Homo-oligomer: A and B are copies of this chain.
Amino acid sequence: MTEVSPVAPWTSGWIPGTRSIRFGGDYNPEQWPREVWAEDVRLMREAGVNLVSIGIFSWALLEPREGEYDFSFLDEVVSLLYDAGIDVDLGTPTAAPPAWFYRAHPGARAITREGIALSSGSRGIVSPSSPAYRHAAREIASRLAQRYGTHPAVVMWHVHNEYGAPIAESYDEASVAAFRCWLERRYGTLEHLNDAWGTAFWGQRYGQWEEIDAPRVSASVANPAQRLDFRRFSSDALLDCFRLERDAIREHSDRPITTNFMASTCPNVDLWQWADEVDVVSNDHYLVAERTDNHVLLALDADLTRSLARGRPWVLMEHSTSAVNWQPRNLAKRPGEMARNTLAHLARGADAVLFFQVRASRKGAEKFHSAMIPHAGTASRRWGEVVDLGERLSGLDELVGSRVSARVAIGWDWQSFWAQDLEWRPSVDASHRERIEAFYTVLWRRGVTIDFVHPAADLTGYDVVFLPASYLIDDASADNLRGYTAAGGTLAVSYFSGIVGANDDVPAGPYPGQLREVLGLWIEEFEPMRRGETVCLSDGRTGHVWADDITLDGARAVATYLDGPAAGGAAITRHDFGDGVAWYTSTGLHGADLDRFVTDVLSDGDVPFGEPDELETVERTHEDGRRFVVQLNHADIDRPGGVAGTDLGTGRRVSIDDIVPAGAVRIVRRA
């Protein structure tokens, strides 16, 4: 508790005055009889736990009947933790309204596009626009803040849980009404809305605001701009809910307030808009167990989280000690894998690494989810690894507050993803996710640290910006990208980018309207390919999924198509634009072919890169110049680390030639 300064308001860093890596997890004592709690706390201390999240699903306990509150359970738990010196991240329980809420307010249930009311009985979902829900959520948050807002154990607030997962949209009446208001604010007049949505197509013109509905299931494809706006609205409606709780808490507490994101894994909320509303960015991350490259995806997610945090330290609010329960095949983590996962997040900027959850549930939907204290108990290997990890983390205090920086960025825009994922695109094989993962993977193997950026963000710090999949680029973003490149930046774009503006509208003139000038070319027609079809490029590379029929207008062809639908035309181009360069690949490149594209671009931007490797190396740096290198060897063979300094674990000197053993993690204070 010594690290907390309750009277000082939160200003920078994620917990005022914190000087330790935070370690712990979600703690749900309500699932256990009181006699287990003491054991829990004892084991937490054994494992070096110094932060737990509580209360996330406690609404029905805290407010057993509407308007009747009973905090005795929570009082006891907070005291117990306080006495043990374990800090509390106090949750508001609004992700799971009590059963009485559903009974009293059936109209608050979320409704699907098909008109199906989603019931209670799982993790609760209600309409974020429901007045009854908003009132109840604000009230319980306020009550909690009044009671615990200055409690010395409470160092952070954890509002709600995973906003937008599993769904964000609701088609209930309150949502439709709120959507209309949102539209009025966005467009001002129906004329502007009709124009933005292109309602002249298919005779959809609106004459009254009241005629506008949510884009429910229809016989054919709904208006894409309407659907896109409804996704925006739905993200905003959830953000309103967050703000409501946050502001209610702030009235009674000066502790930092967060809500746990799911950075790359929940596509339903636009986290660029959320990131500035939280005091600390926190994130939940789970491996896709069956993918053998899930450690690369973990890095992507951590980099995205850090980017949302604007480079500041962040909290890994949840990850798992081993298997989860909700994937098709829930593979357990191999020995050492948990520590590698945890430390990989830390490598990429996390100052806190927590698990879901402290003790494995015996009942309910997630009883097969791993935990710090597994079903197998403290005699298990898993528990041993948890204790070892806690011990190891306790030796890493020096890293607290250090930051990761990147010279290369990848474009990421949820709104573009939403637009691209609507129906009736040129090819179902064109996946933004697949392309971004492909580009990221090549860069990861080359040892290049990545930031993610919105295309409208300040790009001046980056030598190279990749846009693997930016279907929608609004006018401001287009200007920004032009300006970045003209000023000397290196931009690299992959196919089906810059195709539409903010309202899923094709700009006048040839594709890609938003990037035509900077790329120095225009597209006659998209040439999506048959399933599985490939094309040969003049430099021996192979193209997949897509081609464009390109007319060069300033760019030069780096490679042309030898066959396929665009045979004879440019496939990969390079354009000197102002003081910078803009690359374009009009086809899907894989593996070594993509690696060549990416390294050509990096070379243009004077960005150094290594040989492809499974040794992950990331640097964290303090303002005062202290530098730490985290190295994770994901290979099955030992690798030389190439770093000199002091091993933070052993305290021993490390030389350039020292190896990082297969599967091991090493953290070195640079010499």
Which residues of chain A from 517 to 546 have any CB-CB distance to chain B below 8 Å in the complex? Answer: 522-531
Which residues of chain A from 332 to 363 have any CB-CB distance to chain B below 8 Å in the complex? Answer: 332, 334, 360-363
The reply to whether B218 and A549 form a contact with Cβ atoms under 8 Å apart is no
Chain B residues near A577 (CB, 8 Å)? Answer: none
Give min CB distance, A136 to chain B, whole Å: 13
- Of A118-126, A391-399, A644-652, the stretch lying at the interface with chain B is A118-126
The answer for the CA separation of A323 and B549 in the assembled complex, in Å, is: 13
Chain B residues near A207 (CB, 8 Å)? Answer: 60, 64-65, 98-100
Among A116, A220, A323, A523, residue most surrounded by chain B Cβ atoms (within 10 Å): A220
Encoded as 1 (CB less than 8 Å from any B CB) or 0, chain A from 15 to 43 comes to 00000000000001011000000000000
Determine the residue in chain B with the shortest Cβ distance to A380: B524
- Of A407-415, A452-460, A499-507, A662-670, the stretch lying at the interface with chain B is A499-507
Chain B residues near A12 (CB, 8 Å)? Answer: none
Choose among B124, B363, B382 the residue that contacts A525 (Cβ–Cβ < 8 A).
B382
- The answer to whether residues A376 and B96 also contact, given A203-B59, A219-B122, A505-B362 and a CB cut-off of 8 A, is no
Give min CB distance, A175 to chain B, whole Å: 14
- A sample of 14 more A-B contacts (CB under 8 A), given A96-B204, A221-B365, is A60-B204, A93-B203, A98-B207, A166-B219, A167-B219, A197-B363, A199-B364, A322-B525, A323-B426, A332-B525, A332-B526, A365-B423, A376-B510, A380-B510
The reply to whether B166 and A220 form a contact with Cβ atoms under 8 Å apart is yes
The reply to whether B119 and A216 form a contact with Cβ atoms under 8 Å apart is yes
Tell me the dominant secondary structure on chain A's binding face: loop
The answer for the CA separation of A391 and B444 in the assembled complex, in Å, is: 56
- Answer whether residue A222 sits at the interface, using C-beta atoms and an 8 A cutoff: yes
Taken together, the copies of this chain in the complex come to: 3
The reply to whether B98 and A325 form a contact with Cβ atoms under 8 Å apart is no
- The answer to whether residues A328 and B428 also contact, given A57-B203, A218-B125 and a CB cut-off of 8 A, is yes
Which residues of chain A from 474 to 511 have any CB-CB distance to chain B below 8 Å in the complex? Answer: 500, 503-511
Chain B residues near A5 (CB, 8 Å)? Answer: none
The reply to whether B429 and A362 form a contact with Cβ atoms under 8 Å apart is no
The reply to whether B427 and A328 form a contact with Cβ atoms under 8 Å apart is yes
- Answer whether residue A205 sits at the interface, using C-beta atoms and an 8 A cutoff: yes
- Answer whether residue A213 sits at the interface, using C-beta atoms and an 8 A cutoff: yes
Chain B residues near A633 (CB, 8 Å)? Answer: none
The reply to whether A217 and B118 form a contact with Cβ atoms under 8 Å apart is yes
- The answer to whether residues A218 and B121 also contact, given A103-B211, A322-B525 and a CB cut-off of 8 A, is yes
> Can you report 28 residue pairs joining A to B where beta carbons are below 8 Å apart?
A30-B200, A31-B200, A59-B203, A93-B203, A96-B203, A99-B212, A118-B217, A119-B213, A119-B218, A120-B204, A122-B218, A166-B220, A198-B367, A199-B364, A200-B363, A223-B365, A225-B363, A322-B525, A328-B427, A330-B528, A331-B565, A332-B527, A361-B506, A362-B507, A363-B505, A365-B424, A375-B509, A380-B524
The reply to whether A208 and B365 form a contact with Cβ atoms under 8 Å apart is no
The answer for the CA separation of A290 and B200 in the assembled complex, in Å, is: 31
The answer for the CA separation of A115 and B111 in the assembled complex, in Å, is: 12
Choose among B365, B368, B511 the residue that contacts A220 (Cβ–Cβ < 8 A).
B365
Chain B residues near A215 (CB, 8 Å)? Answer: 119, 121
The answer for the CA separation of A166 and B637 in the assembled complex, in Å, is: 55
Give residues in A with beta carbon < 8 Å to B: 28, 30-31, 57-61, 64-65, 93, 95-100, 102-103, 110, 114-125, 166-167, 197-208, 210-213, 215-226, 290, 322-323, 325-326, 328-332, 334, 360-368, 370, 374-377, 379-382, 423-429, 500, 503-511, 522-531, 549, 551, 565
The answer for the CA separation of A428 and B365 in the assembled complex, in Å, is: 15
Chain B residues near A93 (CB, 8 Å)? Answer: 203
